[in-house]
Amino acid sequence: MDRYPGSEEGERQVSKVSLIVNGKEITADVEDRTLLVHFLRDVADLTATNVGCETTSCGACTVLLDGESVKSCTVLAAQADGREVTTLEGLASESGEMSAVQKAFHEQHGLQCGFCTPGFVMAITSLLAENPNPTEAEVRAGLEGNICRCTGYHNIVKAALAAASANTAEAAK
Amino acid sequence: MSILGTRVIRTEDPRLLTAGGVYVDDLREPELDGAARVTFVRSTIAHARITGIDKTEALAQPGVIAVLTVADMTDFPPPPPAEPIDPDAPPTEGPMPLGGPWSEPLLAVDKVRFVGEPVAIVLTDTRYQGEDAAELVSVDYEPLPAVVTFDDALAGETLLFDGTGSNVSLKRDGAFEEAVFDGCDVIVEGDIVNQRVACLPMEGRAVAASWKDGKLTVWASTQNAQLSRLILTALGLPPDAIRVVAPDVGGGFGAKIGVDREGILVAWAAKHTGRAVRWVESRSENLTAMTQGRGQRHHIKIGGTSDGHIKAYRLDIVQDSGAYARMSGFLPSLTVLMAPGVYDIPNVQAGYKVVMTTSTPIAAYRGAGRPEAAATIERAVDWFAAAAGVDSAVVRKLNFIQKEQFPFVTKMGAPYDTGDYEGALDKVLAAAGYEELRAEQKRRRAAGDVRQLGIGLASYVEITAGDAGAGETAKVEVHDDGTATVYTGSSPHGQGHHTAFAMLVQAELGIPMDKVEVIHGDTDLIPDGVGTYASRSLQLGGSAVHKAAIEVKEEGAKKAASLFEAAEADVVLDAGTGLWHIAGDPDKSLTWAQVAGAAEGGLIVANVRFTADRPTFPFGSQLSLVEVDTETGKVTLLRHVTADDAGPILNPILFEGQRHGGIAQGAAQALVEEILYDADGNPLTSSLADYGAITAAELPSFELLTSETATDVNPLGVKGIGEAGTIGATPAVHNAVIDAVSHLGVRHIDMPTTPERVWTAIQEAKKASAK
């Protein structure tokens, strides 16, 4: 893990940042320029969230910030101070049962190398929260900010639609 | 019923979906605790002499451990001396990569040849410190003219390498003779550019290393740990002093075969400083310094008779190598081999020149030389069909190598094993409703609709496991607790080997998949292996697992016979239950745990290296339907229908996944993707904000048809599927776009068929017809 030595360098402005990550409060002194994704990976030691581009283009770093999807490579950790962050590691239930989106990715072969997967799972989780019954066209448009190089998106789109159906069926119970 | 051929969901997934994979940047190995961050100082100029490097200011920055340049590389074994070459007689074949005067240094010595070339290495405590310090390494450059285009390179006014006399590093004489076109009443000639594209695995290159007690451990995002280890012996270490581990790898697509010069340097930095190090490239580094793909310009001539028969085809290739010749001598040789594609053309001539340019080196990218062949012959056939006035589907059928002609050796010497080209095309035409689509196209043309329909066809054949003779290794063990372990030299990075190989073991031994562990990518455990590329893994690696399982079964039969006190010929394994019986007596049974328990050490083990005597040649047909807005040039991909034949399907889920990804990458090249440089050799597409990687919003769901023609080259009857989608989709989509506007007088649009290019082509055709 990279060390963030903080104030002893005396050159970079360092601030205390406190986030609730997957329900757990994590507080650290970090350089002001620390990106949320690096806070999650290097300070919170949650490595599912990946950096794919650094330009908000690929979505591999997508997490939920107060329930809404953001690309954590272009959010400062300080901007998330006092807020709730959910990463892939926080989606399964306490008993370890995968969320509907995670299950659908497994059943529909929605992942291959897995690197973009955490970002897609988080983006779709957010998309379905906003629009519980999207059409295929709405799913495709909603995923424009996430890049996958393995799956051709075919099974990711299927997984999103399957998760929507599963959520609807669950809600009808 | 065998598990083979069934839709088994992946065993790899639960971990990737709940905790995320463990890629190089995620490794928390104790050896990497406190590892220094590696940041490369890279050339900002395409072509220049280095007149000085000042690292003083960088060294004074917080957290900086070292700044290393070529001057520090004194603990490296000297490179082999450069061999003099005759500039008038460039070699026609050469090693890969090219050595001699074309050699690629590890860190720039006195010259840089592309923007992004590594010049110095900065080691820091943290990643942000590395970026700060690298900015402050001052490199003095004396700029030289850039060599950017094919024509710049061929002109040779500026040479990349002193003493070579030319920028042509390799060539193959095409033996072009005009006489082969005698008697052709339809002849079409033209240029087709197969543009340079990014390989773009979502995880870029990443390497970590530690040096301890005379042993170097390297974790690399690679398609083959064993080849990486061989490459790393360049450090002057014997192979057994090096351990290479491939953890989870976030995609490769050909660009992670072995390790690049940066990987060697990262390993060296660990050995040189004694400190563990880790390098994870940024996307800008990835888009400027990871090898790129394609980059060929073709001049073609195709001739035949007006009834649609093709008599002669010529392909003259210029391969852009980029600044160094890593695999660029190999790529066009594959394009030449596959030049005539699926057609029985009496005369085929093909040759190439490989040229050096001041740009990122080009190497393998999904298909590596074969997509270029398919893209051009399929455009050429459409040109020929249009000139002859015959429907392009009809021209394809008239000229296909026929089913009964296999095995078939082409004019270029490729030994095609199996094929049913017409069968695959018929399936696609029927499923797509070809006649109805043509009728709708005719209606829109007659009505002068703004949105015109384009129907693109591509029939392709490709070569997979081209290095079949290198084979692949497998070790299968059955333990006395009834579980099995597979050690494979193959090296997945998304393909699903763990699922596929466990299925093979269950099918043969009856040990359920959840009791079969598959291990890959660790040279301490698997010193001998080849890796994953060229669509080789199932046919070679899978066949090795299959054969090793059979050997384990044979050994198991001996042990079972002895336990039953029966003759070996009388014991049988029920592959459905994994229980051993005496034939005809199902009541008495032994488990694998009991049988393995009777073996020495409680273990039955088989080691296999499977080699094939020939490659395989998967084939298929694809149909693409696009809509082109003739007022804006915008292309919308509406449907993509494919029949891709790679023999018997082990797991349809994995098979379809490979096709989906391949189709998307093929469509991406046809529609949107291109690496661009300005006239001074500066990259214009060095971030994902600039490089137009295709997204879900630009693609439809794909329509996949089944076609299974077994090969006799390996015991599973299988061929490769990793690259087929790309090879077929590029020309199918490309042909569709041009077909949509061909009635307006557009004959060709080079890829990518962006709105600007399509609109411009329409305007030019209008102007030409107004004259």
The confidence score (pLDDT) of residue A25 equals 98
Interface check for B13 against chain A (CB to CB < 8 A): the answer is yes
- Asked whether the beta carbons of residue B125 and residue A121 sit closer than 8 angstroms, the reply is no
Q: Look up tokens 């490199």; give the residue.
A: B139
Q: Report the candidate in B500, B470, B336 with the shortest Cα–Cα distance to residue B411.
A: B336
- How far off is chain A from B645, nearest CA to CA, in Å? 19
- Asked whether the beta carbons of residue B25 and residue A47 sit closer than 8 angstroms, the reply is yes
Residue B589 belongs to a domain: yes
Confidence of residue B81 (pLDDT cuts 50, 70, 90): low
- The mean pLDDT value for A28-33 works out to 96
Q: Number of folded domains in chain B?
A: 2
What CA–CA distance (Å, rounded) separates B695 from B671?
11
- Asked whether the beta carbons of residue A116 and residue B701 sit closer than 8 angstroms, the reply is no
Residues B458 and B498 in one domain: no
**In terms of CA atoms, which chain B residue is nearest residue A148?**
B202
Residues B432 and B557 in one domain: no
The confidence score (pLDDT) of residue B101 equals 85
- Asked whether the beta carbons of residue A158 and residue B701 sit closer than 8 angstroms, the reply is yes
The confidence score (pLDDT) of residue B86 equals 52
Q: What is the pLDDT of residues B618-649, one digit of tens each?
A: 999 999 999 999 999 999 999 999 999 999 99
What CA–CA distance (Å, rounded) separates B149 from B144?
15
Residues B601 and B489 in one domain: yes
Angle at B764 between CA B758 and CA B767, to 5 degrees: 145
Q: What is the pLDDT of residues B451-490, one digit of tens each?
A: 999 999 999 999 999 999 999 999 999 999 999 999 999 9
- How far off is chain B from A62, nearest CA to CA, in Å? 13
Q: What is the pLDDT of residues B274-320, one digit of tens each?
A: 999 999 999 999 999 999 999 999 999 999 999 999 999 999 999 99
Share of chain A above pLDDT 90, in %: 89
Tell me which CATH code domain A6-90 carries: 3.10.20.30
Residues facing residue B475 across a β-bridge: B487, B607
The confidence score (pLDDT) of residue A23 equals 96
Instruction: Check if the interface score ipTM surpasses 0.90.
Output: yes
CATH domain A100-172 topology: DNA polymerase; domain 1 (1.10.150)
Rounded to 5 degrees, φ, ψ at B652 are: -55, -30
Confidence of residue A11 (pLDDT cuts 50, 70, 90): low
Share of chain B above pLDDT 70, in %: 98
What CA–CA distance (Å, rounded) separates B611 from B608?
10
Q: Look up tokens 């490579």; give the residue.
A: A73
Residue A79 tokens, joined:
């901007």
Residues B620 and B762 in one domain: yes
The confidence score (pLDDT) of residue A10 equals 46
The confidence score (pLDDT) of residue B90 equals 46
Interface of B with A in 36-55 (CB under 8 A): 37
Interface check for B537 against chain A (CB to CB < 8 A): the answer is no
- Say whether pLDDT at B96 is over 80: no
Q: What is the pLDDT of residues B494-530, one digit of tens each?
A: 999 999 999 999 999 999 999 999 999 999 999 999 9
Residues B522 and B562 in one domain: yes
- The mean pLDDT value for B746-753 works out to 98
Say what the pTM is.
Answer: 0.96
C-beta neighbour count of A33 within 10 angstroms: 12
Residues B620 and B766 in one domain: yes
Q: Report the candidate in B661, B668, B730 with the shortest Cα–Cα distance to residue B371.
A: B730
Q: Using CB atoms, pick whichever of A31, A52, A55 lies closest to residue B689.
A: A55
**In terms of CA atoms, which chain B residue is nearest residue A42?**
B26
What CA–CA distance (Å, rounded) separates B541 from B474?
7
The confidence score (pLDDT) of residue A7 equals 40
Residues B559 and B596 in one domain: yes
The confidence score (pLDDT) of residue B82 equals 57
Interface check for B293 against chain A (CB to CB < 8 A): the answer is no
Q: B655 contacts in A (CB within 8 Å)?
A: none
Interface check for B30 against chain A (CB to CB < 8 A): the answer is no
**How remote is the C-alpha of B91 from its chain's centroid?**
26
Interface check for B203 against chain A (CB to CB < 8 A): the answer is yes
**In terms of CA atoms, which chain A residue is nearest residue B496?**
A112
What CA–CA distance (Å, rounded) separates B617 from B639?
26
List the alpha helices (DSSP H) in B587-672: 592-597, 652-671
Q: Which residue among B593, B610, B627 closes a domain?
A: B610
Residues B600 and B655 in one domain: no
Q: Using CB atoms, pick whichever of B22, B128, B251 lies closest to residue A33.
A: B128
The confidence score (pLDDT) of residue B585 equals 87
Q: What is the pLDDT of residues B153-186, one digit of tens each?
A: 999 999 999 989 999 999 998 888 999 999 999 9
Q: A47 contacts in B (CB within 8 Å)?
A: 20, 22, 25-26
For residue B684, the domain's CATH number is: 3.30.365.10
Q: B661 contacts in A (CB within 8 Å)?
A: 112, 149-152
Angle at B684 between CA B683 and CA B687, to 5 degrees: 95
Q: Using CB atoms, pick whichever of B9, B33, B689 lies closest to residue A109.
A: B9
Q: What is the pLDDT of residues B416-465, one digit of tens each?
A: 999 999 999 999 999 999 999 999 999 999 999 999 999 999 999 999 99
- Asked whether the beta carbons of residue A4 and residue B126 sit closer than 8 angstroms, the reply is yes
Residue B591 belongs to a domain: yes
The confidence score (pLDDT) of residue A173 equals 83
Q: Which residue among B560, B575, B610 closes a domain?
A: B610
- Asked whether the beta carbons of residue A113 and residue B22 sit closer than 8 angstroms, the reply is no
Domain segments of chain A as ranges: 6-90, 100-172
- Asked whether the beta carbons of residue A152 and residue B250 sit closer than 8 angstroms, the reply is no
A–B interface: beta-carbon pairs under 8 A: 197
* Residue numbers of the domain that contains B601: 468-610
Q: By the 8 A CB rule, do B364 and B254 touch?
A: yes
Interface of B with A in 117-146 (CB under 8 A): 125-128
- The mean pLDDT value for B324-330 works out to 90
Q: Using CB atoms, pick whichever of A2, A9, A153 lies closest to residue B37.
A: A2
Q: B702 contacts in A (CB within 8 Å)?
A: 152, 154
Burial (CB count <10 Å: 0-12, 13-18, 19+), residue B472: buried
Interface check for B284 against chain A (CB to CB < 8 A): the answer is yes
- Asked whether the beta carbons of residue A152 and residue B663 sit closer than 8 angstroms, the reply is yes
- The mean pLDDT value for B184-212 works out to 98
Q: Which residue among B610, B636, B665 closes a domain?
A: B610
Interface check for B634 against chain A (CB to CB < 8 A): the answer is no
- Say whether pLDDT at A4 is over 50: no
**In terms of CA atoms, which chain B residue is nearest residue A90?**
B18
Share of chain B above pLDDT 90, in %: 94
Residues B504 and B633 in one domain: no
Q: A54 contacts in B (CB within 8 Å)?
A: 282-284, 687
